[in-house]
Structure formats: structure tokens, C-alpha cells
Amino acid sequence: MIETAYALLIGVFFATAVYLILSKAVIRMLLGVAVLGNAVNLLIFTAGRLTREAPPIVTAESGERLVAPYANPLPQALILTAIVIGFAMFTFLLVLGYRAYQELDADNTDTMRLTEPEKAPPPPTTY
């Protein structure tokens, strides 16, 4: 039951992220990247199973191996790493978008085409 709710929530996150990334406003694109990162983190978390299990700790009573059932620590480690990398990427993109806004005085990607002159020849089709 809860996996179905998480699957629907992940689908909504991915759909929202794609919608925001395809926007022409830079701020919406940045928010779309952040929502996409959260959707992927939630997907990894859900793939690691949503059950209440014991922490993966080897005790003196259990010997040298884990006693089932235990939680899988790999998805949790992947999510922690992805959160740090996603936050660093989002802050970099935020600063890049702010600098582009300062230099070009535009938030819309259609008005940011200063490097593409209107009457420029087309790019070469072969090399």
C-alpha cells in the first residue's frame, strides 16, 4: 500500500521536474533540477524497500555475520551522497543563473541569445 503511494509521489515529482525544466525561465529550470534530484533520491529510497527492519549492526551474540532481517545500508549511503552532490550542483547553477541575469539582464532563455546574431550564417553540416 505505501509503495503505491510512493510510486505515485515519485511520478508526480518526475512530471513536475520535467515540466519545470522545459520552461523558458531560468529560475523554473533551476527548481526543476532540484525537484528532479529529490525525485531520484526518493526513487532510490523506495528501491531499498520500505520496511521496519533492524539496523545492520554486527553484535557479539550474532558472531561475524548479520542476522536477518536487517536494513540495507547501501540505498541510504547513496541518498546521502546524492543529497550533498545535488545541493552543490544546485548552488552552482543558482550562482550561474544569477550571473547570467546580471550580465544579460534577462531571465527568459529566448532573450539570452546575444551570442547568436540574427543574420548569422548557419553552422556547417559536415566537417
Set out the domains of the chain in order of their start, with CATH numbers. 2-112 (1.10.287.3510)
Say if residues 26 and 95 touch (Cβ distance below 8 Å). Answer: no
Of 52, 53, 42, give the one whose Cα is nearest residue 17: 42
Model confidence pLDDT, tens digit, residues 4-59: 899 999 999 999 999 999 999 999 999 999 999 999 999 988 887 777 777 777 77
Model confidence pLDDT, tens digit, residues 86-121: 999 999 999 999 998 998 888 888 887 766 677 777
**C-alpha pair distances (Å), 59 with each of 53, 66, 74, 79, 111:** 15, 8, 20, 26, 63
| Predicted model pTM | 0.76
C-alpha 29/C-alpha 100 separation (Å) is: 14
C-alpha 27/C-alpha 37 separation (Å) is: 16
Model confidence pLDDT, tens digit, residues 64-87: 777 777 777 788 888 999 999 999
